[in-house]
Amino acid sequence: MEEATNNWLKYHNIPFNKLITKEKNKVFNPYIFSVLALIIISLFYMFWIKETQDRWVFLWLPFIFFLAANTLMFAYQHAKKFHKQLGIVVVLGLLVIIAYNQVNQANDLIENKLDSYSPVKQAGIWIKENSNKEDIIFSRSHPQTSYYSERKTLTVRLEDITSPEDFGNFLDENKPRYAQISVFENHPSQIMEWLQNNQDRAKPVNAIFSDPEQQQAILVVYEILYNSPTESQDLQSTTIDL
pLDDT at 28 (0 to 100): 65
Report the alpha-carbon distance of residue 182 to residue 77 in Å, rounded. 54
pLDDT at 58 (0 to 100): 81
What CATH code would you report for 118-224?
A: 3.40.190
pLDDT at 122 (0 to 100): 92
pLDDT at 187 (0 to 100): 87
Q: What's the residue count for the chain?
A: 242
Could you read off the pLDDT of 210-229 as tens digits, one per residue?
A: 888 888 889 999 999 987 54
From first to last of its 242 residues, what are the pLDDT tens digits of the chain? Answer: 445 444 434 434 444 444 444 455 555 677 788 888 888 888 887 777 666 666 777 888 888 888 888 888 888 888 888 887 888 888 888 889 888 988 988 888 888 777 778 899 999 999 999 999 999 999 999 999 999 999 999 998 888 888 999 999 999 999 999 999 998 888 888 999 999 999 999 999 999 888 888 888 899 999 999 875 444 444 444 555 55
Check if the beta carbon of residue 152 is closer than 8 Å to that of residue 168.
Answer: no
Report the alpha-carbon distance of residue 140 to residue 193 in Å, rounded. 16
- Strand arrangement of the beta sheet that strand 202-209 belongs to: 152-154, 136-139, 178-182, 217-224, 202-209
Check if the beta carbon of residue 207 is closer than 8 Å to that of residue 235.
Answer: yes
Secondary structure E strands in 42-170: 136-139, 152-154
pLDDT at 215 (0 to 100): 84
pLDDT at 212 (0 to 100): 84
pLDDT at 18 (0 to 100): 46
pLDDT at 60 (0 to 100): 83
Q: Where are the domains of the chain?
A: 2-113, 118-224
pLDDT at 179 (0 to 100): 94
Report the alpha-carbon distance of residue 74 to residue 146 in Å, rounded. 47
